[in-house]
Chains A and B, each alone.
Chain A
Amino acid sequence: MKMTFLNKKDFWAGAMLIGFGAAAMFIARGYRFGSALRMGPGFFPTILGGILIAFGVCIMALGLRSGEKIQEKLSLRALVLLPLSLLLFGFLMEKAGFLPALAALVFGSAASGREFKFLEVLLLTAVLTVASAALFIWGLGLPYPLIKGF
């Protein structure tokens, strides 16, 4: 009974908003608030943070009463692998060049789907990497080295 709020949608939505609002207000303390006549850099974010907290409290309170549960399915595999392959892409773009970055991105993305056929993914990686190099590097003339550091 007492822990029922833990899977309620609006409780977490409210908490998320309060979190953002409070963080904004806390950080904005370091910026001059100023006055209405001369708005300082802290004026707008502090007020927005306050409004956000008010909305958050409101949503949380309404949500605790009505209580819609979180029902959406979430694939943990996609949630972890997809952003991770983006991070890898960014990292390899700087360290290794366009081709390795893209290959890693395509392979990582494909691996985050629920059907993973190794040969198909390998082929897809090769095709997409070459096609993107052709389209973006030669076609649109983006100035990225294909492979760095050799």
Chain B
Amino acid sequence: MELFHNLFFGFGVALTLQNLLYCFIGVFVGTLIGVLPGIGPMATIAMLLPLTYNVPPVAALIMLAGIYYGAQYGGSTTSILVNLPGETSSVVTCIDGYQMARQGRAGAALAIAAIGSFIAGTICTLIVAMFGPPLADMALKFGSPEYFSLMLMGLVAAAVLAQGDMIKSLAMVVLGLLLGVVGSDVDSGVKRFCFDIYELADGIGFVVIAVGVFAVGEIISNLSDPEERTIFTSRVGSLYPTLQDMKQSIAPIIRGTMLGAFFGVLPGTGPSIASFGSYMIEKKVAKDPSRFGHGAIEGVAGPEAANNADAQCKFIPMLTLGIPASGTMALMLGALMIHGITPGPTVMTQKPDLFWGLVASMWIGNLMLVVLNLPLVGLWVSLLKVPYRLLFPAIMVFSAIGIYSANNISFDVYLAALFGVFGIAWRILGCSPVPLLLGFVLGPMMEENLRRALQVSNGDPSVFVTQPISLAFIMVTVLILIVMVLPAVRNRRGDLTG
């Protein structure tokens, strides 16, 4: 079997000592920041990205991915024990998880969350391995018009399906594309928007924007509106769920995984939508829905499986098509580019160790997380007592060194300070910076494909709707826009995202 041959190859890559170590560092750091509120996976990945320059790309990606899905695990731990979601995706876990903890069943809830995530992780490893290669094969046949339309579809879908104001998100995508233009034009060599600053000739650094907006901007925002934290730690109790618990949880875990995998490949939908959706489904199919909110184990098992499945399947479009389905995936694309790898379907054929090693490492990482999380629960909870006033200067240190070490020029640090201020301004104005990052990453590729497509078609823009595959992408894009503009759908979206 081709599939098992490939997975076997992947495990060979992921099981080297170096890659195991980076995987461990990734999931450890991920759990850490998942537990700590006020710092999310986006800021962490952005901060640590430059420090992976000297690491081989496979190890770097394995570590960054570990941070991403490790954060989901850490987030659920604090949701259950102290009713404090470390990440937005674990907000629903609070509802029944914390009730279970108050009934003295924290251990069972934690174990089910970990087992659910692990099962979801296992299934999704197989899904990525199965659907990755055919998707990449298909994409290899794409020409410039197809690529342009695909990117357009990805960006529009990501902006429209994400939480927040739809028009503002679309506008932020365009602003991101525009920021991507800064620097020397590859075609003519003209320095665009450089204002005679030579440091800008290579364009604005990806890390500068990511760290500026998501680390510095977030700290300013947290300092502006400090939330009072009071922590009541409940006893963990037995870590072994009963047979009854397992029986009740297995169906929700499978349903949650399927739902999460579906939302995972859709651009723009974060893990929080998958976990909310799973919670609603479990409540609907339950024989006695009134148990929900009072410690129903299905309300922990389903959403936890869903958010982990979502996190993992987000890698499919990123690795096979080079399309980021979320802000974190944009960071992963950025990491690939920094290591000199052109994202897209060629990654799988030219860098098979990267693709299969990463896929296999996700399964290993999930296993590590189960082992890491359950016995160390006490340690993670005690971390919550670290006050934010000691934490954020440390985040600033990592951010500043991260930015500076990218190119060893101070200008990047100055620019990041500016983007920190922009970041807080955008937040206040209700303009999400995530679509901006997606646009920024895809901007140069989009311009290049547009230019080539129009050259091949003799300047005829109808090429995007006469090529069948490109037409399909354009039609989906238009369809998404029409559906989202319908007021009925918009109202339902409000329900989903709370």
Question: Which residue numbers of A lie inside 8 Å of B, CB to CB?
Answer: 9-10, 12-13, 16-17, 20, 24, 27-28, 31-32, 35-41, 43-45, 48-49, 51-52, 55-56, 58-59, 62, 68, 70, 72-75, 77-79, 82-87, 89-91, 93-94, 102, 105-106, 109-110, 112-115, 124-125, 128, 132, 136, 140, 142
The yes or no answer to B13 lying at the interface (CB within 8 A) is: no
Closest to A50 in B: B174
Instruction: Judge whether B51 and A140 touch: CB under 8 Å.
Output: yes
How many residues in B have their beta carbons less than 8 Å from beta carbons of A? 63
Q: What is the CA–CA distance of A13 and B424 in the complex, to the nearest angstrom?
A: 12
Instruction: Judge whether A105 and B400 touch: CB under 8 Å.
Output: yes
Instruction: Judge whether A90 and B459 touch: CB under 8 Å.
Output: no
From B174, B224, B400, B421, A51 is in contact (CB under 8 Å) with: B174
**CB neighbours of A74 from chain B (8 A):** 220, 224, 424, 428
Instruction: Judge whether B168 and A59 touch: CB under 8 Å.
Output: yes
The yes or no answer to B431 lying at the interface (CB within 8 A) is: yes
Instruction: Judge whether B171 and A55 touch: CB under 8 Å.
Output: yes
Question: Which residue numbers of B lie inside 8 Å of A, CB to CB?
Answer: 51, 54, 167-168, 170-171, 174-175, 177-178, 181, 185, 187-188, 190, 192-193, 216, 219-220, 223-226, 388-390, 392-394, 396-397, 400-401, 404-405, 410-414, 416-418, 420-421, 424-431, 447, 450-451, 454-455, 458-461
Known: A10-B430, A28-B192, A72-B428; 18 extra A-B contacts, CB below 8 A, are: A12-B429, A13-B429, A20-B175, A27-B193, A31-B185, A32-B190, A35-B459, A36-B461, A43-B451, A56-B171, A78-B219, A86-B400, A86-B413, A87-B413, A87-B414, A89-B400, A105-B400, A128-B397
Instruction: Judge whether A72 and B393 touch: CB under 8 Å.
Output: no
**CB neighbours of A128 from chain B (8 A):** 393-394, 397
Instruction: Judge whether B396 and A82 touch: CB under 8 Å.
Output: yes
**CB neighbours of A10 from chain B (8 A):** 429-430
Instruction: Judge whether A83 and B420 touch: CB under 8 Å.
Output: yes
**CB neighbours of A136 from chain B (8 A):** 401, 405
Closest to B402 in A: A136
Q: What is the CA–CA distance of A94 and B425 in the complex, to the nearest angstrom?
A: 29
Instruction: Judge whether B178 and A20 touch: CB under 8 Å.
Output: yes
**CB neighbours of B51 from chain A (8 A):** 140
Question: Main SS of the interface on chain B?
Answer: helix
- Given known contacts A48-B181, A58-B167, is B413 in contact with A93 (CB within 8 Å)? yes
Question: Main SS of the interface on chain A?
Answer: helix
- Given known contacts A13-B429, A102-B397, is B178 in contact with A86 (CB within 8 Å)? no
Instruction: Judge whether B220 and A48 touch: CB under 8 Å.
Output: no
Question: Closest approach, in angstroms, between the C-beta of A66 and any C-beta of chain B?
Answer: 11
**CB neighbours of B411 from chain A (8 A):** 90
Q: What is the CA–CA distance of A83 and B213 in the complex, to the nearest angstrom?
A: 12
From B397, B410, B460, A132 is in contact (CB under 8 Å) with: B397
Instruction: Judge whether A72 and B413 touch: CB under 8 Å.
Output: no
Question: Closest approach, in angstroms, between the C-beta of B257 and any C-beta of chain A?
Answer: 37
**CB neighbours of B389 from chain A (8 A):** 110, 113, 115
- Given known contacts A37-B455, A41-B185, is B178 in contact with A49 (CB within 8 Å)? yes
**CB neighbours of A28 from chain B (8 A):** 192
Q: What is the CA–CA distance of A76 and B282 in the complex, to the nearest angstrom?
A: 45
Q: What is the CA–CA distance of A110 and B394 in the complex, to the nearest angstrom?
A: 9
Instruction: Judge whether A44 and B447 touch: CB under 8 Å.
Output: yes
From A16, A17, A78, B223 is in contact (CB under 8 Å) with: A78
**CB neighbours of A31 from chain B (8 A):** 185, 190, 192
Closest to A116 in B: B389
Q: What is the CA–CA distance of A7 and B412 in the complex, to the nearest angstrom?
A: 33
Instruction: Judge whether B224 and A72 touch: CB under 8 Å.
Output: yes
- Given known contacts A24-B178, A44-B450, A55-B170, is B418 in contact with A83 (CB within 8 Å)? yes
**CB neighbours of A110 from chain B (8 A):** 389, 393
**CB neighbours of B388 from chain A (8 A):** 113
Closest to B439 in A: A48
Instruction: Judge whether A45 and B219 touch: CB under 8 Å.
Output: no
